Structure 1
């Protein structure tokens, strides 16, 4: 039996739709096998979840000249791979600065809460400058099979290019996927990038996920410009302390250069047995 068939049989997920989600209604989405997490076969990976929340925020009371500057996600528990309801509201309206909140719920339980700052765009070209280092392009790195380290439908749907000199806790990587976010829909370049950012915690692992667990309990993304669609680049460092806490820190890139930063707080635990 193929791995895909086994996962589908176990988790009951749609393996045929080449997208992370199918829309069931205005605010209801059905996850496919493409969302399947790496720690449990019956959960959604946070990558697609962050993408669908960003997609919903993009569609909420959109205004010309407003740009997503920061989006943070609080992961409130396991995200079951079942029909998911996304709700959005503006919590701090403003002419040039506004705060939007979104939640993803499964079985009437909020699993993830997101907050996004949208800022008005202005001409700041005279003072523009970037102090984040660039990285080699995807053609300068080497292919890597994520499934050699991780399980799940989400990881199987990604294409990786990584630094051949990578080491535990430190790597450069580029990631892309042919899978749409929502079947039959186009998302923004920002949502296109955000849906892959959570992968950072799995590309520079310090220890084997067969021996230790180190899931992140949050994800915070800061952007200083709108990204362009295509490969997403990661300059990632993973630090782990002595009391069960860790931090994955990433400079994010598109094919034009650095575009922002991401941080993930980890809970680090030895696997039983």
Structure 2
């Protein structure tokens, strides 16, 4: 959305592909506390007037980070329920603590567009403790990004979000199974720095688009949720995806991913899919 179509209260004309801000080199531009203007870099893959869930999850994680921060607390799980299409218009995020605690707390964040809730997130924050004597990882490591080959996501997907990513993929990738590394070419919020955790979360939803079993020009398989579990805080940089996509016979699907940073496995992500043939295909 161009800067002159957004009024000071964050409202403006209905977003169209041409109206989206193409000048800001970030996913979002802050308009005020909890209020953001999406840019063309959040544009979805199936509709050009919607926000892709990946940057939306990142902005919700960012607002959770900013909410009543306490030293020594870390994000252990964040789950998102997608309540409908997410219009590419000014978006407000409301955050509250629903289960306060000294070492364990639950935080809820909701994104609203035109005063309608479009995504709701729940995050468990846990206190850090020394568990080094019993630390161990059973998730398998994958080759790093330097050993994989470039891939253009725009060969499969449309939209400004995909255009703003850099990919490396395994040469043996196949429909329903791939190892890939992704990094964003743009920051999450203009003139702001987000945490390494929010930096990873903002890419996690991309898993559903890197190991597609069928052409997205013939079938739709959007996810209705996203759940990210972490067993340590990630480091900033490339995010690795070891992804498997399963589709059942009655319109349900599941995208399952082990998430990596450049130090190794860091957690898991799951997405439930609704699978349906595109009209006319």
Is the shorter-chain TM-score for this pair beyond 0.5, marking a shared fold? yes
**TM-score, length-normalised on structure 1?**
0.96
The alpha-carbon deviation at position 161 of structure 1 amounts to 0.1
Look up the match of 1:148.
155
Instruction: Say how many residue pairs are matched.
Output: 266
TM alignment of 1:78-227, pairs within 5 A: 78-227=85-234
Q: Quick one: distance in 2 between partners of 1:217 and 1:206?
A: 18
Look up the match of 2:266.
259
Q: Quick one: distance in 2 between partners of 1:12 and 1:266?
A: 30
Moved over 6 A (4+): none
Q: Is the 1:71–1:115 Cα contact (8 Å) retained in structure 2?
A: yes
The alpha-carbon deviation at position 178 of structure 1 amounts to 2.1
The alpha-carbon deviation at position 136 of structure 1 amounts to 0.2
The alpha-carbon deviation at position 10 of structure 1 amounts to 3.2
The alpha-carbon deviation at position 183 of structure 1 amounts to 0.2
Q: Secondary structure at the match of 1:10?
A: coil
**Unpaired stretches in structure 1, ≥5 consecutive residues:** 1-7
Indicate which of 224, 227, 250 corresponds to 2:257: 250
**Unpaired stretches in structure 2, ≥5 consecutive residues:** 1-14
Alignment pair present for 1:231 and 2:207: no
**How far does the alpha carbon of each residue in 1:26-56 deviate from its partner, in whole angstroms, 9 at most, with x for none?**
1110000000000100000000000000000
Q: Secondary structure at the match of 2:154?
A: helix
Look up the match of 1:24.
31
Q: Is the 2:34–2:93 Cα contact (8 Å) retained in structure 1?
A: yes
**How far does the alpha carbon of each residue in 1:120-156 deviate from its partner, in whole angstroms, 9 at most, with x for none?**
0000000000000000000111000000000000000
Indicate which of 46, 52, 55 corresponds to 1:39: 46
Q: Secondary structure at the match of 1:24?
A: strand
Q: What is the RMSD of the two structures over their aligned residues, measured on CA atoms?
A: 0.8
